Chains A and B, each alone.
Chain A
Amino acid sequence: MPEGVTPEKMCDWDYMTGAIAAMEPLAPPGEKTLYQSMTFGWIVGEIVRRSDPKGRDFRQFVLDEINAPLGLRDLWIGIPDAVEDRIATLSNRNENDPPPPEATLYARSMPAAVDLVPPVFERPDVRRAAIAGVGGIFNARDEARFWAMLAGGGELDGVRLLSAERVAGFSSIRDNGDEPDPVMFGIPIPISIGGYWLGGHRVSGPRAIWHPGAARLARLGRPRPETRRGRVPQPHVQRARSPGRPDPADLQGGRRRARPGVEIMTVLPRLEDLEDKSFDPFLIERLSTGNCPDPYPRIHELREQGPVVEGSYRMQFTDVPDAQMGHLPQVMVLGYDAVMKVLTQPEIFTNKEAFENNLGKSFGNTITVMDAPIHTKYRKIFQKAFLPQIVAQWGETVVDPVVNRLMGEFIDRGEADLIEEFTHHYPFQVIYAQVELDPAQAPVFHKLAIAQILSSIGAPQGPEASSKLGSFFGELLAEKRRNPGTDLISHLATVEADGERLPDDVLVSFLRQLMNAGGDTTYRGTSVLLTGLLTHPDQLAAVTADRSLIPQAIDEALRWEGPVSSTFRYAAQDTEIEGVPIKKGTYINTVLASANRDPAKFEDPDSFDIFRPRGTRHLAFASGPHLCIGQHLARVEMTRALNAILDRLPNLRLDPDKPAPEIKGHLLRVPYHLWVKFDR
């Protein structure tokens, strides 16, 4: 947005189009499109005005060319006085959220002075102005008719506004759609030709187009019927108003906690979905991990430069600035011995500073963000719940039922995508079982867990998700303390060490982290294990015949393609690694993947070989006091999953008619598909 923009200036079409025209473009005109939040309306609107033979302004153009032919009565880009008393009041349910970092292009595209908040957008002049990117005011009926026209290929009730070819083009990704978008925090955004987002996790189908919306403003008015699920796309205009008074239920987030008269004590807590139910954290999360096919040649090059190399690991694989860490002094530590030195000297290389601004923001006060002595104290209590002899019991009671249920869905088919149909679900379902989650709530739970990590890129849905999961776990803990069972939550809620219980904030933060630390990594690790074996049929045959090879197959998979390539530590004092000085205050990219493929420790390190000598421990679970607390559970889960697959899918092999699996990502690695065939 132009510097110094105010609500008054925003209402002046000529001022805005002139000021936007005077701005320096982020990319040469004609080369690419970048995400535009507010400016989109003026740019498109002015092109319309200048190219219209009648020279109409955008507001009038919409009335004449969209509303009149479609019979819309309440779709306004700038309202007339007459409808003002029918407009519902806006409220801001996100006012306690931290704003995105000021220096980011995202924040500059939506400056605070004209933020999407009631003090700005409830102004009479703003309601009347043509602010087409974010200021549309319309009712549900007319919005639906507009989208029905698009869904009909440009035609509705015999009236054609757009050619079918033009509408079909909206489902094609823009030329640079797979490039990181610097305005959207360096994440590739799948925006189509025409400015819509393509479908994704929540809105699916080859023709799906939508827009996730700003989620800053509540939509008030009578609750809408659930028309948004499935293939109904979202409006580009980021808010909708409808005539009528707000329903108090809507103000509480759309779901009442407990019906009057029902005793809360007997009710397990409900999870609240995100306000913007169409927001798709999975898409953002998947895109943010990148699709680098093979980071290892670059990792080997870096390691050959020495144990300490200036710069950040992430920047080796993307040119997009890192809004969170980019301005901080960073080095990479590479090679097995150097990485071990970082991980096993926790008094020099600390966690608190390294993680408080990323994981700490998403999850809160977790043990990942602590150092000794407080870390030692709490870690010991949590570890009690994850000791090998404890988690071994969950194999049969928790893991096997999940595995069998999922396999039952495809076992009769003789073919499957083991990622989409199996590994992407089972570790998360193990967690749902642990927290005794109502299965109907699982999709919301998974969504919130993933959305939490978006705090680190400044997305407002991040803190919203953290807060909602926090309330849920807080209530769950209270309930489990009243009526403890034998489950994990009851255990954690009541466990004591040295006569002390875990504080609630530490416990809730740990549970928040569970989905990401325990679900996501196991999903990736199991996927890589199956990929390694299926692409090496001789090794698969060996493991099938001799199950005592499973532990070494798991370790080799984690060494070969550990799910987490690099982790952070912080130099709390001036120090050195193998003679290379490191200044206090440096953030250390501790490149676990370089240790696990160090040729000094592992012969022919890039090959997958479950029979390699087992002398050196891999560092996929890291090392030192922060060593993965869930590694024993991960091993139980992977063992159970692999055994079930080998037992029940005879003659398992890659599907020769489908693409070979490709492990992707520079930081978190996984194949997106693993298509297999087997005998029925």
Chain B
Amino acid sequence: MNCGWIYEQELGDPEGGIAPGTAWEDIPDDWKCPDCGALKAEFDMVEI
């Protein structure tokens, strides 16, 4: 909710150590948004 970056499960975040296909629940809490550095806790689940 800080920068609008959207996590897509099929793509994951390979540069941040998150393999494609990783479910949101399985991402560690210390992972950060690759664009703005927001913590996982600062993300919201939004319907698109």
Contact = CB atoms under 8 A, between A and B. Distances in A.
Contacts, number: 40
B17 to A, nearest CB: 14
* A-side interface mostly: loop
A661 to B, nearest CB: 30
Interface string B15-45: 1000000000000000000111110000000
Nearest to A345: B37
Contacts of A632: 4
A386 B4 contact: yes
A629 interface: yes
Interface in A627-657: 627, 629, 631-632
Contact of A627 (B1, B3, B46): B3
A533 B15 CA distance: 29
Contacts of B15: 615
Interface residues of B, number: 13
B35 A627 contact: yes
A627 B36 contact: yes
Interface string A387-415: 11100000000000000000000000000
Given A617-B35, A623-B37, A625-B36, A389 B2 contact: no
B37 to A, nearest CB: 5
B2 A379 contact: yes
A632 B38 CA distance: 17
Given A388-B6, A615-B15, A344 B37 contact: yes
Given A388-B6, A389-B46, A383 B37 contact: no
Contacts of B34: 617
Given A387-B46, A615-B15, A624 B36 contact: yes
Nearest to A625: B36
A318 interface: no
Contacts of A376: 2
B37 A380 contact: no
A599 B5 CA distance: 26
Given A624-B37, A625-B37, A631 B4 contact: yes
Contacts of B37: 344, 346, 623-625
A389 B48 contact: yes
A56 interface: no
A625 B4 CA distance: 11
Contacts of A380: 1-2
Contacts of A625: 2, 36-38
Given A617-B35, A624-B37, 7 more contacts: A380-B2, A387-B46, A389-B46, A624-B36, A625-B36, A625-B38, A627-B35
> What 5 A-B pairs are tightest by C-beta distance, nearest first?
A627-B36, A627-B3, A344-B37, A387-B4, A389-B48
Interface of A: 344, 346, 376, 379-380, 383-384, 386-389, 615, 617, 621, 623-625, 627, 629, 631-632
